[in-house]
Amino acid sequence: MPARLERMFHCDPEVFRQNFNHLPHEVKHTLMTHPLFKLPALAELAQRVAARKNPHHSQGDIHVDQETAQANRKVDLHDWSKKNDISKLVEDIENGKTWIILKHIEREPGYREVFESCICDILDLTGSKIVEDIKWFEAILFITSPNRVTKYHIDRECSWLLQIQGNKDIHFFDRSDKDVLPDEELERYWMFNDSFSAIYRPQYESRAIVYQMRPGTGVHSPVNTPHWLQNDNNVSVSLSINFQFHESAWENLFKANYYLRRIGLTPMPPGRNRFADRIKSGTYTAVQGVRRKIKKIPNRPAAVARQDYDRIVKLLASR
């Protein structure tokens, strides 16, 4: 049986029970003093992630977004070509206008143990039965230059963003507020996997739930909760602990509604009528199944993600 690590993630159980995957709420953690999250260690980590021979994502597990000083334009460096310079970019983060995303850092020694400890702390609060509904887990690290803004968007992950260094404000909106997030935007999101299908409406900014994140604090972001972020005048390091649900039934409802709307109908939003939802999702799933057979689309999660999932299930059982 593995040694029990000290608890790194904390949340009032009642606050967690009332809000989990429903509304954002604050959490606490102990990672702000951890040596693996200091900039020199993160520069090494970035180099390792950039050099991966078998990344989780076909375009690589590192994403760099810079604003050029000359034209104040964003340069998308998704196809990051200067992999040897990535550690320098991290070291110079204070002087740039850079946003670095390191994906699946739980694959790296040391970070894996931190991630597994946090996710087990979270699963203690959810109850272990939820693992049956989870497709895979992930730890993402964000390193951000002073004053950077992260644009308004929605995500498919159920996540906890833990602030480790620097301060930033995160503005959340209630995903059930249809003025803020109309169903058409959710349908486009699930149809095209486009995080920016959610459109920011400044007239509703007063409805935002704003958290001032400081080292040691964190926030829970339920699936599809709209949000945007503003860094303070300092370097920010944040860790996102997240997982994805087996969401095909839910996802297929939005996709089915997307097609119904295209032929001029006004489909009922998911969640209003369970029976109708089941029929609609089942029909869409059946049609998609036929299409998969014809096109031979692979429908299996990556083997590595599966192994990581199995490790977490075993760890959880041993606690």
**Which residues lie near Fe ion (CB under 5 A)?**
155
Q: Which residues pair with 137 in a beta bridge?
A: 243
CB 292 within 8 A of CB 252: no
Q: How many CB atoms lie within 10 A of CB 139?
A: 23
Which residue's CB is nearer to Fe ion, number 108 or number 155?
155
SS3 120: helix
Q: How many CB atoms lie within 10 A of CB 296?
A: 7
Residue 229: CB minimum distance to Fe ion, A: 8
Query: Among 183, 174, 159, which Cα is nearest to 267's?
Result: 183
Residue 175: CB minimum distance to Fe ion, A: 13
Which residue's CB is nearer to Fe ion, number 193 or number 283?
193
Q: What are phi and psi of 85, to 5 degrees?
A: -95, 0
Strand order of the sheet with strand 98-102?
9-10, 26-29, 217-221, 158-165, 236-245, 134-144, 98-102, 62-67, 74-76
Residue 154: CB minimum distance to Fe ion, A: 8
Element (H, E) at 294: helix 274-295
Q: How many CB atoms lie within 10 A of CB 78?
A: 12
Which residue's CB is nearer to Fe ion, number 98 or number 240?
240
Which residue's CB is nearer to Fe ion, number 136 or number 172?
172
Which residue's CB is nearer to Fe ion, number 57 or number 82?
57
Which residue's CB is nearer to Fe ion, number 225 or number 257?
225
Which residue's CB is nearer to Fe ion, number 48 or number 171?
171
Residue 17: CB minimum distance to Fe ion, A: 24
* CA atoms of 254 and 256, how far apart (whole Å): 5
Residue 143: CB minimum distance to Fe ion, A: 15
Residue 172: CB minimum distance to Fe ion, A: 10
Residue with smallest beta-carbon separation from Fe ion: 155
Residue 129: CB minimum distance to Fe ion, A: 26
Element (H, E) at 62: strand 62-67
* CA atoms of 212 and 215, how far apart (whole Å): 10
Which residue's CB is nearer to Fe ion, number 151 or number 306?
151
Residue 189: Cβ-neighbour burial (10 angstroms; 0-12, 13-18, 19+): buried
Residue 152: CB minimum distance to Fe ion, A: 10
